[in-house]
């Protein structure tokens, strides 16, 4: 119905434009961005609501899929995982790696029409670091000695020690630049500098963003409006695509053949780590042999085949092959599926008769329940009785991620362009993200050492060492990085893939 209405409006507007062009001597009849017809609007399905619209508080990958269209950092990620300048027009790093100096791009406006100034940059980092009297919001800047405005166009960070990951902390994933004038209202009325501005959020229904007409990248965006439609059920989502109710959605792996003829499809490496993991402060998961036994009892091949129809690559630690040389492929077979060895490990740990536990999973994506069912059957074979508890996404975040009130869970850990940020969830002092409660001094030291290492080849060695520790300690059952198959209306073009979850709408068009 929506598409029919839009088609009729397009025809009507085309007639009006044709009449105007004949009167004014113009033969173009195109919109400002060069696309013929009516308003450029698109409907994109996502699994669930954002946890926060405030970019400094958001932690869920679902949130960043959407809100990165509204916000920008000093730096911006590229599709290949590298970085480019964004709000920063240029930057310099001192020879000792301690001073980072940024020239701030001029002429950038916030969505409320106000100019971005050096005071807003200062406000952003004061807020993140808690130096403005508020609570510290990120740990990424603990190494920063000072963050200061040198003049009206220059901002400088001085670090206590070199940090090879520091530039990655300056994208909107961690430090979106926000206006000081909006203090106290960043969640209910988010304002950024990105290609799209916040219009409306209807919990449980959708998030709507509109074109930023003052966007500093000339000619972008093409779309006038993007509606992110919340729909947790994958099967319902594919029906919505087939009924032309949404224009873009992830396609269930088992139903790819249904859309290949009439829709565009593209494959994206998720660059995340799908895990079954534990609260390691709760017995018996504080025992490494128990964790190793579970890692050996879970049939990863069965999960990949039955849940993902083969559209996944097996993992051995918390790093995807999408990360290139940073990924250590030698760990993939660390725990081959072996029921008898798993039983022996469980007996060595003092649980020869097994035990009972609970796996708590979110309902916002059906894969977690499907994986949990396979895990239940696998662990039953070694004497572990597992109860499945399915909760809403918001409850999972509150209880499992933030509250650490769980025994086992299944989740895919968000892919990021930085190898350090892929692994730093496990640092014992990273209270905000270490919901596993993993605590290993050797791992902490490796992650500290890599930040001070300038040689890229040695950085790779450190990251391999960190992955090996996670595997040896069985910090989780590392199952797979699964592919996302995107299905979209054939009128949609300009979709881009990143090594993390981001529906980048800045260059998307809808042909008429």
267: its two tokens = 């494959």
Instruction: Give the pLDDT confidence score for residue 499 in this predicted structure.
Output: 83
Where b means 16+ CB within 10 Å and e means fewer, 329-359 reads eebbebbebeeebbbbbbbebebeebbebeb
504: its two tokens = 């980048």
CATH placement of domain 2-52+194-263+489-510: 3.40.190.10
Quick check: helix, strand or coil at residue 440?
coil
Strands 225-230 and 206-211: what pairing? antiparallel
Alpha carbon distance 410, 386 (integer Å): 13
Domain with CATH 3.10.105.10 in the chain: 273-483
- Mean pLDDT for the chain overall: 91
Residue whose C-alpha is closest to residue 317's, from 423, 401, 450, 418: 423
Task: Summarize the confidence of residues 392-414 as an average pLDDT.
Answer: 95
Quick check: helix, strand or coil at residue 336?
coil
Share of the chain above pLDDT 70, in %: 92
Task: Summarize the confidence of residues 198-223 as an average pLDDT.
Answer: 97
Topology given in CATH for the domain delimited by 71-182: Dipeptide-binding Protein; domain 1 (3.90.76)
Alpha carbon distance 258, 272 (integer Å): 26
Contacts of 475 (CB under 8 A, 6+ apart): 277, 280, 291, 318, 426, 436, 438, 440
Instruction: Give the pLDDT confidence score for residue 195 in this predicted structure.
Output: 98
Q: Is the confidence at residue 333, as pLDDT, over 60? A: yes
Asked whether the beta carbons of 35 and 510 are under 8 A apart, the reply is yes
Task: Summarize the confidence of residues 490-496 as an average pLDDT.
Answer: 95
Task: Summarize the confidence of residues 194-203 as an average pLDDT.
Answer: 98
Instruction: Give the pLDDT confidence score for residue 365 in this predicted structure.
Output: 87
Q: Is the confidence at residue 7, as pLDDT, over 80? A: no
Task: Summarize the confidence of residues 235-256 as an average pLDDT.
Answer: 94
pLDDT classification of 500: cutoffs 50, 70, 90: confident
Domain with CATH 3.40.190.10 in the chain: 2-52+194-263+489-510
CB atoms inside a 10 Å sphere around CB 143: 19
pLDDT classification of 377: cutoffs 50, 70, 90: very high
Alpha carbon distance 190, 52 (integer Å): 10
Instruction: Give the pLDDT confidence score for residue 37 in this predicted structure.
Output: 58
* 301-324 pLDDT tens trace: 999 999 999 999 999 999 999 898
Comparison of pLDDT for 33 and 473, the residue scoring more: 473
Alpha carbon distance 190, 182 (integer Å): 8
Alpha carbon distance 198, 211 (integer Å): 9
360: its two tokens = 């708590």
Instruction: Give the pLDDT confidence score for residue 18 in this predicted structure.
Output: 39
Domain with CATH 3.90.76.10 in the chain: 71-182
The predicted model scores a pTM of 0.77
Cα dihedral across residues 19, 22, 25, 30: positive or negative: positive
pLDDT classification of 32: cutoffs 50, 70, 90: very low
Quick check: helix, strand or coil at residue 273?
strand
Asked whether the beta carbons of 287 and 347 are under 8 A apart, the reply is no
- In 203-271, beta strands by DSSP E: 206-211, 225-230, 248-250, 264-269
Instruction: Give the pLDDT confidence score for residue 23 in this predicted structure.
Output: 38
Q: Is the confidence at residue 187, as pLDDT, over 70? A: yes
At residue 357's C-alpha, the angle toward residues 351 and 360, to 5°, is 150
Quick check: helix, strand or coil at residue 441?
helix
Q: Is the confidence at residue 463, as pLDDT, over 50? A: yes
- Give, in order, the Cα–Cα distances in Å from 66 to each of 137, 176, 350: 21, 14, 47
Task: Summarize the confidence of residues 430-440 as an average pLDDT.
Answer: 95
Class of domain 273-483: alpha beta
Cis peptide before 168 (omega within 30 of 0): no
pLDDT classification of 38: cutoffs 50, 70, 90: low
* 57-79 pLDDT tens trace: 998 889 999 999 999 999 999 98
């Amino acid at each position: 119905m929506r598409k029919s209405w839009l088609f009729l409006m397009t025809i009507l507007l085309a007639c009006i434009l044709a009449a105007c062009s004949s009167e004014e001597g113009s033969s173009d009849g195109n919109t400002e961005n060069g696309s013929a017809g009516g308003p450029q609007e698109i409907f994109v399905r996502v699994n669930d609501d954002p946890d926060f619209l405030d970019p400094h508080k958001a932690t869920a990958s679902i949130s960043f899929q959407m809100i990165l269209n509204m916000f920008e950092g000093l730096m911006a990620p590229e599709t290949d995982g590298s970085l480019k300048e964004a709000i920063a027009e240029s930057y310099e790093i001192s020879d000792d790696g301690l001073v980072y100096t940024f020239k701030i791009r001029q002429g950038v406006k916030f969505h409320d029409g106000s100019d971005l100034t050096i005071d807003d940059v200062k406000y952003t980092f004061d807020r993140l670091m808690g130096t403005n009297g508020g609570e510290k919001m990120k740990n990424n800047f603990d190494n920063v000695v000072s963050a200061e405005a040198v003049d009206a166009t220059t901002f400088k960070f001085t670090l206590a020690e070199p940090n090879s990951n520091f530039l990655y902390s300056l994208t909107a994933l961690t430090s979106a630049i926000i206006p000081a004038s909006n203090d106290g209202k960043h969640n209910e009325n988010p304002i950024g500098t990105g290609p799209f501005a916040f219009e409306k959020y209807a919990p449980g229904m959708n998030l709507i963003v509109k074109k930023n007409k003052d966007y500093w990248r000339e000619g972008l965006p093409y779309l006038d409006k993007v509606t992110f439609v919340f729909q947790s059920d994958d099967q319902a989502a594919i029906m919505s695509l087939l009924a032309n109710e949404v224009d873009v959605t992830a396609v269930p792996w088992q139903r790819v053949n249904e859309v290949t003829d009439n829709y565009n499809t593209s494959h994206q490496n998720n660059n995340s780590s799908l895990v079954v993991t534990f609260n390691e402060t709760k017995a018996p998961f504080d025992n490494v042999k128990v964790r190793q036994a579970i890692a050996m009892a879970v049939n990863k091949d069965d999960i990949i085949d039955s849940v993902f129809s083969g559209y996944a690559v097996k993992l051995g630690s918390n790093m995807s092959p999408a990360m290139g040389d940073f990924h250590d492929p030698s760990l993939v077979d660390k725990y081959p599926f072996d029921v008898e060895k798993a039983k022996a490990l469980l007996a060595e740990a003092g649980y020869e008769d097994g035990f009972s536990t609970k796996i708590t999973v979110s309902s916002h994506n059906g894969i977690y329940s499907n994986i949990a069912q396979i895990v239940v059957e696998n662990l039953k074979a070694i004497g572990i009785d597992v109860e499945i508890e399915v909760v809403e996404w918001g409850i999972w975040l509150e209880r499992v991620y933030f509250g650490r009130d769980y025994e086992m869970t299944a989740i895919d850990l968000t892919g990021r362009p930085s190898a350090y940020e892929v692994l730093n969830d496990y640092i014992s002092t990273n209270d905000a993200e270490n919901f596993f409660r993993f605590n290993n001094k050797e791992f902490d030291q490796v992650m500290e050492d890599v930040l001070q290492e300038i040689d890229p080849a040695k950085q790779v060695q450190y990251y391999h060492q960190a992955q090996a520790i996670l595997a040896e300690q069985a910090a989780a059952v590392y199952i797979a990085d699964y592919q996302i198959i995107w299905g979209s209306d054939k009128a949609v073009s300009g979709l881009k893939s990143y090594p993390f979850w981001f529906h980048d709408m800045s260059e998307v068009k809808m042909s008429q």
